Structure 1
Amino acid sequence: MQGPRLALVPGEPAGVGPELCARALQQRWDARLDIFGDGAVLVDAARRIGLPLERSAPDLLRAPGGEFVLHHLPTATAAAPGRPEPVNAASTVGALLAAADACSAGHCLGMVTGPVHKAAINDGGIAYTGTTGLLARHTGCDTVMMLANPTMRVALVTEHLPLREVADALTPARLERTLRILHAALREGFDIPDPVIAILGLNPHAGEDGHLGREEIEVIQPVLARLRNEGMHLEGPLPADTAFLPAKLADFDAVLAMYHDQGLPVLKHSGFEQAVNISLGLPWPRVAVDHGTALDLAGSGKADPSSLFAAIETCTRLARARTARERTA
């Protein structure tokens, strides 16, 4: 196997992540995949759905796709499909952090992650709101969550917040930081020299000139004006109910939504199976599946691997772009 070495983390051991990873190991990729997780969980998941996968050595997995380096991080207790165990929270998070450390040390050039079960991690005594935030704290980097599919890219100013907290969290500093990270990522990771970013308003009709809220006037517009003066191509603030019309989307390289459910339902409706979750702002690319643990499907063999496959392909492209950029710097 040639190409960049990527860290692959299955995620919640009782969810569909292990069997999706087992499916990924059935084929060859344009990247070398290192697996971070419990080897027994992966082998058991493959056996349940009738796929060949064996642990050929303590640090190797063998499948039709080749031999894959295994960084074995055992769970505290056996994982049964569909039944998350809070005592396994430490190993789930530990696999994510070990993969992140491998990327930071240069052993891997990118990170692909399966779905995790937030409730199980929190019930296991680890405060957790999402992997993007976990990696931001671990690396000391400011990050932005962006989801993408072949139709659109949607980034978020706020992520996993209760709706009543969003307006207070929408500060000029936060919006400016998000736009700078998004703009740089589109230029450097996606090779878009002059990205056009659509910025949604927070309120219905983008505030209706202050009659439906003043965040657009007092927060969003001043930040956009300042960054436009620096040369950024920013459109908005736009009413969210019309910004996603196909004729408008064709003019945008990305859409910036103010909160989670403002932008992501539209993206998922337009192409859920091919969508991926990308953490912008890290020193290396991290790409995740755009779905949850699907506990009801775990162990059945019915889970669709399309998002994981898209995540591997996307991370491979981003890792190659980063390597090429560093060589020419």
Structure 2
Amino acid sequence: MISRILLTCGEPAGIGPELVVPAMESGVDFAWIGDPRHLPQGTAYCEIVAPSDPVPAGQLPVLRHDFVAPVTPGRPDPANAQGVIEVIARAVELVMRGEAQAITTLPINKQVLKEGAAFAFPGHTEYLADLAGDVPVAMMLASTSVQPPCRVVPATIHIPLASVPAALTVDRLEQAIRITHAALIRDFGIVAPRLAVAGLNPHAGEGGAMGSEENSFIRPLLARLRGEGMDIAGPLPADTMFHANARSRYDAAICAYHDQALIPIKTLDFAGGVNVTLGLPFVRTSPDHGTAFDIAGQGVADATSTIAALRMAQDMARSRG
């Protein structure tokens, strides 16, 4: 049985390389894809050819992927951008061939990828969706150290706030809701998911006094989905959705835009939040932070989110069976 998870290297000049060693204490069986020259000095590793190859106890399994330029922590080199992209693609190919159980990705820097390799995607999420066959996906941020859990899914992601009202169409919102509902069943083992949907406007529009989107298409959409049997509340005022008592009433919240979703979870569980791509034909998680160039190479990076991401990937893969 394939049980190993693939951990991609991410941006080598960021904190990714120094997160790998503490992640070995997670209890999760994973193989790292990257250039072993980037690992902290003294890391015990063993190069492997296939993800399932055995390694001696206490050693990191490494699927070697050489990068072209030397790496200085905190100083990204666009010459290495293509290598970062290739590692992600290699991980997807392996997991889709059934050679690994799931993927956890370490942080990338989109600007460096654009400069060095004309990266055409807003981020990991969209690139993974393309590699998987241009499948519809949603981005979930899930807590691991607060109760009740906080799971949020923004219906619109990496776009300017001024573009959100036009981008938040009924089709886009419905897609986010359906992907989330299916993923809670398949990936989180929740038999009868309870969803909550935030309004776009303050006070969920306050009956039309603060905006029309709630009445014009959000309420009718939710009523139709309830008619199909979904347990779904909303549209709700976003400012009262995320205290503990409110979170106890739902399993995931679908929000209108990026910050409406990410501010509450990063406030509640900054270190333990995990980024999950819903809708893929494979499991993918990621720590909920960036490359942190300002502290790279100093040995002070917190591996809590990376460990949480590996453990969540393992749990989700088991839920899929």
Tell me by how many angstroms 1:160 deviates: 0.7
Tell me by how many angstroms 1:66 deviates: 3.0
In structure 2, C-alpha distance between the alignment counterparts of 1:73 and 1:66, rounded to whole Å: 18
Match of 2:126 in 1: 133
Q: For 1:34, which of 17, 21, 31 is the aligned residue?
A: 31
Q: Deviations over 1:106-148 (max 9, x none)?
A: 1111000111111111111212311011011111211100001
In structure 2, C-alpha distance between the alignment counterparts of 1:83 and 1:144, rounded to whole Å: 31
Match of 2:279 in 1: 281
Tell me by how many angstroms 1:218 deviates: 1.5
In structure 2, C-alpha distance between the alignment counterparts of 1:117 and 1:188, rounded to whole Å: 30
Inter-CA distance 263–57: structure 2 relative to 1 (3 Å threshold): closer
In structure 2, C-alpha distance between the alignment counterparts of 1:225 and 1:101, rounded to whole Å: 40
Describe how 1:139-288 pairs up with structure 2 within 5 A: 139=132, 140-150=134-144, 151=146, 152-288=150-286
Match of 1:327 in 2: none
Match of 2:90 in 1: 98
Q: Deviations over 1:46-100 (max 9, x none)?
A: 11xxx533456788997863351x2222222111100111121111111111101
Task: Name the aligned partner's letter for residue 184 of structure 1.
Answer: A
Match of 1:11 in 2: 10
% identical aligned pairs: 40
Secondary structure in 1 matching 2:208: coil
Q: Deviations over 1:139-178 (max 9, x none)?
A: 1211100001133111110111110111111111111111
For these two proteins, the number of residue pairs brought into alignment is 313
Q: Deviations over 1:11-54 (max 9, x none)?
A: 000000111013223x36243x1221112112xxx11xxx5334
Secondary structure in 1 matching 2:207: coil
In structure 2, C-alpha distance between the alignment counterparts of 1:167 and 1:213, rounded to whole Å: 10
Task: Name the aligned partner's letter for residue 212 of structure 1.
Answer: M
Secondary structure in 2 matching 1:208: helix
Q: TM-score, normalised by structure 1?
A: 0.90
Q: Is the 8 A contact 2:110 2:119 kept in 1?
A: no
Inter-CA distance 58–287: structure 2 relative to 1 (3 Å threshold): closer
Task: Name the aligned partner's letter for residue 12 of structure 1.
Answer: E
Task: Name the aligned partner's letter for residue 295 of structure 2.
Answer: L
Inter-CA distance 63–147: structure 2 relative to 1 (3 Å threshold): farther
Aligned Cα root-mean-square deviation (Å) = 1.9
Q: Is the 8 A contact 1:206 1:239 kept in 2?
A: yes
In structure 2, C-alpha distance between the alignment counterparts of 1:193 and 1:138, rounded to whole Å: 29
Q: Which runs of 5+ in 1 are unaligned?
A: 324-329
Match of 1:117 in 2: 109
In structure 2, C-alpha distance between the alignment counterparts of 1:241 and 1:287, rounded to whole Å: 27
Secondary structure in 2 matching 1:302: coil
Q: Is the 8 A contact 2:219 2:235 kept in 1?
A: yes
Q: Is the 8 A contact 1:53 1:63 kept in 2?
A: no
